[in-house]
């Protein structure tokens, strides 16, 4: 799978914040780092944040989480 141009036609949004700022992002988010133009070091971490339970894409009650809904939409299941 070649992803070089993935998201190239999507709007650009910058995420910047003070030290300690945390962003919880959707698993389908296309992201990339920017060139560091400052003088002080900056750090970024991407810790694992597993779901509370495994994704279930076929629920009898239809009570899907927002992420499950997005996955089902991407797979054409809705």
Tens digits of residue pLDDT in 7-50: 788 888 887 788 788 887 777 777 777 777 888 877 777 777 78
Sign of the alpha-carbon torsion through 29, 34, 39, 44: positive
| 27/38 Cα distance (integer angstroms) | 29
Tens digits of residue pLDDT in 55-77: 999 999 999 998 899 889 989 99
64 to each of 25, 50, 53, 70, 77, how far by Cα in Å? 18, 17, 12, 10, 12
């Amino acid at each position: 799978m070649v992803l070089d141009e993935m998201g190239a036609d999507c709007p650009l949004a910058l995420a910047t914040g003070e030290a300690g700022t945390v962003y919880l992002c959707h698993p389908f988010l296309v992201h990339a780092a920017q060139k560091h133009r400052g003088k002080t070091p900056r750090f970024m971490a991407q810790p694992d944040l597993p779901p509370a339970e495994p994704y279930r894409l076929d629920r009898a009650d239809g009570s899907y989480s927002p992420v499950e809904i997005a996955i089902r939409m991407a797979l054409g299941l809705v």
